[in-house]
Amino acid sequence: MHLLHFLSCLPFVTCTIFFLTLFLRSTHFFRPISPKKVRLPPSPPRLPIIGNLHQLSNLPHRSLLALSKKYGAIMLLQLGRAQTLVVSSSELAREVMKTQDHIFANRPSLTVPRLLLYQGKDIAFAPYSEYWRQVKKVGVLNLLSNKRVQSYRTLREEEVAYLMDKVSRLSSLGTINLTMILNTFAKDFISRAALGESLNTNGVGKLIEETSVLLGAFHWGDYFPWLAWMSKLNGLDARIRKTFEEVNEFLDSIVERQASKRAGDDNNEGDAFVDVLLSIERDANMSFPFDKLNIKAIIEVSIFSLILKSSKKNRTGTTYLEYKWAQKNFILNEFYCTAHRTVYEHVSISLKST
């Protein structure tokens, strides 16, 4: 009789123990006692287990703005198990990213970037180390330097000439979508400068956008390690594996094609960014390990982000916003010039008639 009663209560007891364990893990019961109290920034009230996650909406930047107005320009949020420092002023941002950058330079090891970006061998998500400093230097000198930008002048002239010819041909047929044409121009130029060839923007564009979405996805294991299985249940882990396989296949084809071109012609060093990375791979004097996995990781995060910024779907991308700004000012200036000319002609006629 007692055994039957115990078995009937077993589900309730199991659930009680489970939630009690989660509660205790979210409190100070299992935390080491610090010898002295650490001064922490102000923090909003938090709930057990989830911390401040419930205070973030689908527009987290607006939620953080509202919280910063109440708790100050620097505050501490508890997102599950992850303590997160939030700064909301230019002065504090400069302090974090420039003055004290050696303290804040490290990156957290997040699940999605680790799985998509070859275990953190890229520039953006690699942990702060000698390797990160070296690959950052490679990117700055060989992709963003003034000398490298000037070396692409001929390529820019070719792409601009093709752009003007395309606009001329299409405008003779009727109304054109200038934003779409400029986006295609930016993607073609970036891909030729970085990868040595133009991309099929239809298929590759979708792959780049899916990678961007996944990098911003919520993975349960990053905030609640004991609930990491939830990301398998909701299909996120499967999406990550599928996308990684497609990205890896695409990057393999790019690297192999460029390597084959270089192997067929010893004098052909190539000007594309991927050619620079292949040269580094062959350099025996490198002070850190560098192979094709490193090349693919750097290309993925560097080039994909540049192409995504020019995408029309990414309406916060800098390239997209620059295009809209340029078109707006061109239209307004043309309107004002036409209006000024019309007013001037009417005034001249009126003065002559008097």
Same domain, 52 and 192: no
Q: Is residue 349 part of a domain?
A: no
Q: 121-161: per-residue pLDDT in tens?
A: 888 888 888 888 888 887 787 777 788 778 888 888 888 88
Task: State the DSSP string of 135-201.
Answer: HHHHHIIIIISHHHHHHTHHHHHHHHHHHHHHHHHHHTTS---HHHHHHHHHHHHHHHHHHSS---H
Residue type, 234: N
pLDDT higher than threshold 50 for residue 27: no
Q: Is residue 238 part of a domain?
A: yes
What is the domain extent for residue 240? 130-314
Residue 305 has φ and ψ, to the nearest 5°, of -65, -40
Handedness of CA 270, 274, 280, 283 (dihedral sign): negative
Same domain, 201 and 148: yes
Helix (H) or strand (E) holding 78: strand 74-79
Mean pLDDT of the chain: 76
Task: State the DSSP string of 290-305.
Answer: --HHHHHHHHHHHHHH
Q: 171-182: per-residue pLDDT in tens?
A: 888 888 877 787
pLDDT value, residue 241: 94
pLDDT value, residue 240: 93
> In the numeric block, which tokens belong to residue 331?
């239209």
More confident residue, 68 or 216: 68
92-116: average pLDDT? 87
pLDDT band at residue 185 using 50, 70 and 90 as cut-offs = confident
Q: Is residue 94 part of a domain?
A: yes
User: 51: which DSSP letter?
Assistant: B
Report how far residue 77's alpha carbon sits from residue 70's, in angstroms, rounded to the nearest whole number: 13
Q: How much of the chain is helix, strand and coil, in % rounded to 5?
A: 65, 5, 30
Residue 306 sits in a domain whose CATH number is: 1.10.630.10
Same domain, 142 and 51: no
59-78: average pLDDT? 91
pLDDT value, residue 45: 92
Same domain, 159 and 286: yes
Same domain, 158 and 239: yes
Q: 254-302: per-residue pLDDT in tens?
A: 888 888 877 766 555 567 788 888 888 877 667 777 888 888 888 887 7
pLDDT value, residue 52: 92
Handedness of CA 15, 19, 22, 28 (dihedral sign): negative
Q: Which of 151, 182, 153 is nearest to 166 (CA)?
A: 182
Q: Is residue 120 part of a domain?
A: no
Q: Is residue 197 part of a domain?
A: yes
SS3 of residue 41 by DSSP: coil
Same domain, 68 and 191: no
More confident residue, 40 or 30: 40
SS3 of residue 49 by DSSP: coil
Q: 298-339: per-residue pLDDT in tens?
A: 888 777 766 665 555 554 456 666 767 776 776 677 665 665
227-231: average pLDDT? 90
- Choose one of 299, 314, 329: the last residue of a domain: 314
Report how far residue 116's alpha carbon sits from residue 250's, in angstroms, rounded to the nearest whole number: 13
Q: Is residue 74 part of a domain?
A: yes
pLDDT higher than threshold 90 for residue 239: yes
Q: Is residue 326 part of a domain?
A: no
> In the numeric block, which tokens belong to residue 183?
């986006």
Residue 74 has φ and ψ, to the nearest 5°, of -130, 125
For a pLDDT cut of 70, what percent of the chain falls above it? 73
pLDDT band at residue 235 using 50, 70 and 90 as cut-offs = very high
Task: Find out whether 120 and 215 touch, Cβ atoms under 8 Å.
Answer: no
pLDDT value, residue 338: 67
Q: Which of 189, 296, 214, 211 is nearest to 248 (CA)?
A: 296
Long-range contacts of 142-148 (CB under 8 A, 24+ apart): 142/273, 142/276, 143/194, 143/273, 143/276, 143/302
pLDDT higher than threshold 50 for residue 30: no
Same domain, 179 and 222: yes
pLDDT higher than threshold 70 for residue 10: no
Same domain, 93 and 222: no
Same domain, 85 and 204: no
Same domain, 64 and 160: no
> In the numeric block, which tokens belong to residue 205?
């564009």
> In the numeric block, which tokens belong to residue 336?
């004002």
Q: Is residue 165 part of a domain?
A: yes
Same domain, 81 and 199: no
pLDDT value, residue 135: 82
Report how far residue 54's alpha carbon sits from residue 106's, in angstroms, rounded to the nearest whole number: 27
For 276, half-sphere exposure in the C-beta direction (CA atoms, 13 angstrom radius) is 18
> In the numeric block, which tokens belong to residue 86?
């939030």
pLDDT value, residue 317: 54
pLDDT value, residue 306: 65
Q: Which of 112, 134, 277 is nearest to 195 (CA)?
A: 277
pLDDT value, residue 279: 83
Least confident range of 14-28, 229-243, 292-306? 14-28
Domain count for the chain, please give it. Answer: 2
Same domain, 227 and 88: no
Angle (nearest 5°) at CA 279 between 274 and 285: 140
SS (H, E, C) 240-306: HHHHHHHHHHHHHHHHHHHHHHHHHCCCCCCCCHHHHHHHHHHCCCCCCCCCHHHHHHHHHHHHHHH
pLDDT value, residue 20: 47
